[in-house]
Structure 1
Amino acid sequence: MNSSNLVGVFGGSFDPPHLGHAEVAKSFWENFPNAQELLIVPNHTSPWKQNKKTAPELILDLVRVQFQSFPNTKIWDWEIKRETPSYTEETILELLKVQSGAELALLIGEDNYSEFHKWKNWENILDKVHYLLVFRRFSESIPQNRNLQIFQNKIVFLRNRIIEAASVNLREELPKCILNNRKPIALSDEVWDIILKNRSYT
């Protein structure tokens, strides 16, 4: 599965980014080594979640160090600079404007895959992308979503290494971890150093 025009789109809160996110990027490049690039797209506000308390500038710094070791992996800050909820359809349409001719591969977790048919204009999203890449978060196998049956030729299930980590849980743990100077296992040294330096998440 190689295409020099393929652009991966990996969105999320990344508040904070963790090693599970890095494993997804690693799996993308293992499956698509000749892809043009992988875009990391931190959101400002998810339609499904509460507003962020972490400054966008800090999240961008954390994301940069988390993914800096991956080739052709870039941060696209379009969503996080908008003070409105981030809808995937809008992001895809905007990206197609600035990446004319690109074949987009949208990366989502197994939890979002099971609910994808509830997303705003989900069919239009799948019409616009070349692949829907589903990565594992907690389960060894990903159950089929029957609502997406007609798009099965676009869906690829990644075999990324599972690291059971969630940003929402890390945000809850970090104040105590910072107090005790104890790095959570799911954070890279580089991300942890920035968090300590900024005294963020306290």
Structure 2
Amino acid sequence: MNSSGLVGVFGGSFDPPHLGHAEVASSFWQNFPNAKELLIVPNHSSPWKQNKKTPPQLILDLVKAQFQNFPNTKVWDWEIKRETPSYTEETILELLKVKPDAGLVLLIGEDNYSEFHKWKNWENILDKVHSLLVFRRFSESIPQNRNLQKFRNKIVFLQNRIIEAASIDLREELPKCILENSKPIALSAEVWDIILKNRSYC
């Protein structure tokens, strides 16, 4: 497929979104400059994590602010508006209904790549997508997952710049940061302004 028909799918909690997420979007566009679009897909809750305390609308506002300056990058709210855990297979199947001719590129971190064979119907996911784009979150090199060997032609490894940021750590830091009016380094000014205005994460 011509890269002009590719659609990136970048899901996660984005609770809150940070500069590490922005770096992944930058890397996607550097590798696929002619892609049709990049969809940011915040989830309602993950099967692997506790339910969120942050209101869905606030997360949507934060995500839109974080990615507003990226070309052809949109927020898709299908997952976060469903009050159920988000399974990637369901998201991919729904997207293919909406965009039947798209070549979907699924973006995941190296930690999720290592555990990908434990995801619900993971082989079906890989059958449906054009490629799996694996980015680095913490590791200088991406560990191998032998369970995905037969899909190796569909897997692309990014050499993205690692930005030390994690939403779970930010949620712990933010109450003090808000009290002191001190923006965490990992947050963009746009995201920080919304958090400060709403006094969220206190």
Matches within 5 A, 1:30-49: 30-49=30-49
Do 1:113 and 1:134's aligned partners in 2 also have CA atoms closer than 8 Å? yes
Residue 28 (structure 2) aligns with: 28
Residue 84 (structure 1) aligns with: 84
Matches within 5 A, 1:98-177: 98-177=98-177
| Root mean square deviation of aligned Cα | 0.9
Tell me the CA shift for residue 100 of structure 1: 1.3
In structure 2, give the amino acid aligned to 1:77.
Answer: D
Q: State the alpha-carbon separation in 2 of the partners of residues 53 and 120 from structure 1.
A: 25
For residue 4 of structure 1, give the secondary structure of its aligned residue in structure 2.
Answer: helix
Tell me the CA shift for residue 159 of structure 1: 1.2
Residue 60 (structure 2) aligns with: 60
Q: State the alpha-carbon separation in 2 of the partners of residues 196 and 23 from structure 1.
A: 23
Q: State the alpha-carbon separation in 1 of the partners of residues 2 and 12 from structure 2.
A: 25
Q: State the alpha-carbon separation in 2 of the partners of residues 190 and 45 from structure 1.
A: 24
Post-superposition Cα deviations, 1:10-63, rounded to whole Å, max 9, x if no partner, equal 000000000000000000000000000000000001000111100111000000
Tell me the CA shift for residue 104 of structure 1: 0.2
Residue 5 (structure 2) aligns with: 5
For residue 7 of structure 2, give the secondary structure of its aligned residue in structure 1.
Answer: strand
Tell me the CA shift for residue 168 of structure 1: 0.7
For residue 133 of structure 2, give the secondary structure of its aligned residue in structure 1.
Answer: strand
In structure 2, give the amino acid aligned to 1:128.
Answer: K
Q: Which runs of 5+ in 2 are unaligned?
A: none
Q: State the alpha-carbon separation in 2 of the partners of residues 109 and 184 from structure 1.
A: 22
Q: State the alpha-carbon separation in 1 of the partners of residues 159 and 73 from structure 2.
A: 19
Post-superposition Cα deviations, 1:132-182, rounded to whole Å, max 9, x if no partner, equal 000000111101100000000000011111011110110011001111111
In structure 2, give the amino acid aligned to 1:148.
Answer: L
Structure 1, 79-88 or 176-185: larger mean CA deviation: 176-185
Matches within 5 A, 1:70-81: 70-81=70-81
Count of matched residue pairs: 202
Q: Percent identical across equivalent pairs?
A: 87
Question: What TM-score does the superposition give when structure 2 sets the normalisation length?
Answer: 0.99
Residue 183 (structure 1) aligns with: 183
For residue 44 of structure 2, give the secondary structure of its aligned residue in structure 1.
Answer: coil
Question: What TM-score does the superposition give when structure 1 sets the normalisation length?
Answer: 0.99
Q: State the alpha-carbon separation in 2 of the partners of residues 127 and 117 from structure 1.
A: 13
